[in-house]
Amino acid sequence: MISLSRLKNYLCSAHITFYVLPYIMILVVAGTVLQKTMGLYEATHLIFYSWVIWIGFIPLPGGMLAMSIFTLNLLMRFLLKSDWTIEKSGIHLTHLGVLVLMFGAAYMHFNAREGYVIMGQGATSNTVYAYKNGELDITPPNKDGNGMNWGEPLVTLPFSLTLEEFVRVDYAGTRTPKHYYSDMIMTMDDVEFPVRVELNKPLYYKGYNLYQSSFIEIGDKKATILQVSENHAALSPYIASILIALGLLAHLIINRVRP
């Protein structure tokens, strides 16, 4: 029977991090490569959001299991094996930052909801629609222009958006989009203000992240598609980054000035 002391030593072992971190790196590479052939949704759920990955009849730890083991090991070492001295304070602050990042990611994964908002020129919406197997659940209109369906409503936003203008910029001499963005009016509590959501520049407001995801064209009309993520832990990566940076800086300074 394993004693509590042996169990604690095992959970705090640096060997766990030594073996798990390279495996996590392999998963990151595999998940990135598979996105080209399987698509983002399938590859993400197969590699990163799974507890077990089956290679034929061989089970391998999935991303969720590997990250859980890494987080538990780091937490146990932080709480039970840390040498609480001034000389080690920078390292402890860095480890705390990593833990904030891990727990923030876990909270986001288990609590965040993700869908999309779709609007034509001049239209107003506060409805987020649910993805279906990672794809837009849109039923196109019939030949008479009827029967359009945006999908199943997921959540109602605490604010509304009105699309003033959708701008698409193509590569010269082609019909391939180079850049596009949506200029909108956001309304909340009878207060209106302009906002812009564009590629690689999301908007964060009231616990929601809005990304310029895509667009659709029906004849000469365009509709913007915004990916919306409800994430009340969105600040955790920034807090974690600050803690990690301060920890590394403190460790460098303390070791430089130490006699």
Same domain membership, residue 142 and residue 170: yes
Task: Give the best-scoring range by mean pLDDT among 62-71, 142-151, 221-230, 233-242.
Answer: 62-71
Domain assignment present for residue 28? The answer is yes
> According to the per-residue pLDDT averaged within each range, which of 10-19, 84-93, 198-207, 240-249 is highest?
240-249
Phi, psi of 134 (to 5 degrees): 80, 5
Q: What is the mean pLDDT of residues 19-42?
A: 85
Cα distances (Å, whole numbers) of residue 150 to 119, 122, 161, 220:
10, 17, 16, 19
Task: Answer whether residue 167 is part of any domain.
Answer: yes
- For residue 18, is it within any domain? yes
Q: Is the pLDDT of residue 30 over 70?
A: yes
Residue 102 lies in a domain: yes
Based on the fold, state whether residues 30 and 45 are members of the same structural domain. Answer: yes
Residue range of the domain that includes 150: 114-230
My answer on whether 32 and 52 are in the same domain is yes
Same domain, 85 and 125: no
153 and 99, same structural domain?
Answer: no
85: in domain: yes
Do 146 and 96 belong to one domain? no
Q: Per the domain annotation, does 135 fall within a domain?
A: yes
Percent of all residues in the chain with a pLDDT value above 70, rounded to a whole number = 92
Q: What is the mean pLDDT of residues 140-164?
A: 76
Residues 179 and 201 in one domain: yes
- Does 210 share its domain with 245? no
Q: Within this chain, do residues 212 and 200 fall inside the same structural domain, yes or no?
A: yes
CA-wise closest residue to 167 among 153, 143, 183: 183
Do 226 and 245 have their domain in common?
no
User: Which pLDDT tens digit goes with each residue over 201-240?
Assistant: 888 888 888 888 888 876 677 788 898 888 777 788 889 9
The total of other beta-carbon atoms located within 10 Å of residue 125's CB is 19
Please state the domain count of the chain.
2
* Structural domain includes residue 235: no
Contact 161, 228 (CB under 8 A): no
The predicted-structure confidence for 118-138, as pLDDT tens digits, reads as follows 888 888 999 999 887 777 777
- Asked if 121 and 159 sit in the same domain, the reply is yes
Whether pLDDT at 179 is above 60: yes
Q: Please state, in angstroms and rounded to a whole number, the distance separating the CA atoms of residues 61 and 53.
A: 6
pLDDT in tens, 231-253: 777 788 889 999 999 999 998 88
